[in-house]
């Protein structure tokens, strides 16, 4: 049994991957570049060093990692490919916990270097843009202490005082309940949110749909295709906003969960869903476009949604909250958001009327869509 030892790097730019391993980074580069020399250039290493490391690890592990023949591109051996995919899947699956650990460390160092830094605690549904926002915030003296969890758990954490801001998302347009019935989203979120107590802050519009292999070899174009024989699906966990939307869409189609092979197999993040498809463990998952594109997969858009930040009305005047609102309104942030696949700014940084953007309550007057700081 081989043991794992973790370490971390403290610096201005430590890269985007949660955890790095030199061997796995090397295998990833060879797979993507198709040659050892090209992989060495991408990693900014010498050809001799990469060659030596590969040989050393093959001796250590007792199995070949790279296969190549004269005149052909280098490729991973069966063992090398299995090793890489297994490690990437574990990292994707543990992403919420890894990010929580990193957030704890970054918060500790942020306060150690400057005890005047604004710290804003988040519990939020997994989101690529929110992770990018955390990077942008650090350049402006604001530290976002982000814990990725399901949308339902995020709002509960807000109500229990375990965070200042909760990130969750709903379909566009949000569907109001009709007399005698209600949407799945309404039944999920309405008991957790109270107009007058909570405020919503606009964040982003994003696209959700089917994450499929490159070229969409199974020809999957809608949720009904998931019920075809032999199609393997990977789901998001209960309590996530994506699972709420997916179940709502199935109900509208009259499609039973039992008809979908893999409905009960779930993953904790969009990244883990995409990795499951990339590794061949599933033919499709339901998630965001950015996670699909980031792993070289194809994407079939099915629904647009709004990602909101919820807070208590009493925290709107806190320095950290005001700093966040100012950041969300900047042109630089909104351009960075627009550059992410499947994302667009949507009333970013504006304080919104909950009863207007989530029409699950009925009051005497129509009210205003923007409530400001009332």
Q: Where are the domains of the chain?
A: 22-93, 118-374
Maximal CA-CA distance, the chain: 78
* Model confidence band, residue 242 (pLDDT cutoffs 50, 70, 90): very high
> What is the mean pLDDT of the segment spanning 278-298?
94
Which CATH fold topology does 118-374 show?
D-Maltodextrin-Binding Protein; domain 2 (3.40.190)
Q: How far apart are CA 250 and CA 67, in angstroms?
A: 45
**Type and span of the H or E element at 56:** helix 47-61
- Residue 67, strand partner residues: 75
pLDDT tens-digit readout, 113-153:
666 678 899 999 989 999 899 889 988 888 898 988 999 99
The helix/strand/coil state of 55 is: helix
Q: Please, is 45 exposed, middle or buried when counting C-beta atoms within 10 Å of its C-beta (0-12, 13-18, 19+)?
A: middle
Looking at the chain, the whole-number percentage of residues with pLDDT higher than 90 is 53
Does pTM surpass 0.85?
no
Query: Which of 19-28, 58-67, 177-186, 358-367 is predicted with the least confidence, judged by mean pLDDT?
Result: 358-367
Backbone angles phi, psi at 40, to 5 degrees: -60, -40
Which CATH fold topology does 22-93 show?
Arc Repressor Mutant, subunit A (1.10.10)
Structure token pair of residue 332 = 């630089």
Q: How far apart are CA 94 and CA 89, in angstroms?
A: 9
* Model confidence band, residue 19 (pLDDT cutoffs 50, 70, 90): confident
Work out the mean pLDDT of the chain and round it to a whole number.
Answer: 86
Structure token pair of residue 52 = 């030596």
Of residues 195 and 344, more confidence is placed in 344
Q: Do domains 22-93 and 118-374 have the same CATH topology?
A: no
Q: How far apart are CA 26 and CA 28, in angstroms?
A: 5
Q: Helices 78-93 and 95-113 meet at what angle, rounded to 10? A: 60
CB–CB of 175/189 below 8 Å? no
State residue 4's pLDDT score: 67
The helix/strand/coil state of 214 is: coil
């Amino acid at each position: 049994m081989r043991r794992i030892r973790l370490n971390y790097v403290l610096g201005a730019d430590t890269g985007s991957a949660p955890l790095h391993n030199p061997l796995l980074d090397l295998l990833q580069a060879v797979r993507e570049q198709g040659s050892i020399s090209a992989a060495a250039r991408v990693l900014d290493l010498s050809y001799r060093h990469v060659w030596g490391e590969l040989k050393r690890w093959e001796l250590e592990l007792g199995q070949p990692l790279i296969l190549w023949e004269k005149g052909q591109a280098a490729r991973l051996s069966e063992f090398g490919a299995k090793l890489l995919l297994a490690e990437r899947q574990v990292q994707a699956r543990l992403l919420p916990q890894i990010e929580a650990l990193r957030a704890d460390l970054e918060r500790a160092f942020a306060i150690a270097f400057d005890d005047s830094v604004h710290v804003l605690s988040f519990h939020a549904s997994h989101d690529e843009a929110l992770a990018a926002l955390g990077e942008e915030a650090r350049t402006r003296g604001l530290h976002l202490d982000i814990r990725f969890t399901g949308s339902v758990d995020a709002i509960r954490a807000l109500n229990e005082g375990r965070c200042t801001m909760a990130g969750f998302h709903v379909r566009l347009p949000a569907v109001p309940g009709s007399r005698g019935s209600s949407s799945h989203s309404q039944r999920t979120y309405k008991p957790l949110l109270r107009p007058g107590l909570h405020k919503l802050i606009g964040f982003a519009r994003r696209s959700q749909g089917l994450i499929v292999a490159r070229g969409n070899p199974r020809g999957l174009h809608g949720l009904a295709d998931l019920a075809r024989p032999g199609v393997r699906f990977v789901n998001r966990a209960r309590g996530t906003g994506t699972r709420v939307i997916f179940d709502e869409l199935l109900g509208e189609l009259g499609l039973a969960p039992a008809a979908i092979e893999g409905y009960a197999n779930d993953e904790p993040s969009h990244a883990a869903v995409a990795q499951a498809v990339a590794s061949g463990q599933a033919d499709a998952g339901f998630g965001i476009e950015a996670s699909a594109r980031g792993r070289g997969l194809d994407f079939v858009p099915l629904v647009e949604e709004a990602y909101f930040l919820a807070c208590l009305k009493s925290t709107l005047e806190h320095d950290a909250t005001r700093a966040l609102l100012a950041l969300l309104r900047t042109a630089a942030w909104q351009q960075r958001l627009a550059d992410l696949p499947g994302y667009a700014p949507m009333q970013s940084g504006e304080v919104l009327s909950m009863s207007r953007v989530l029409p699950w309550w009925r009051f005497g007057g129509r009210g205003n869509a923007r409530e400001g700081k009332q």
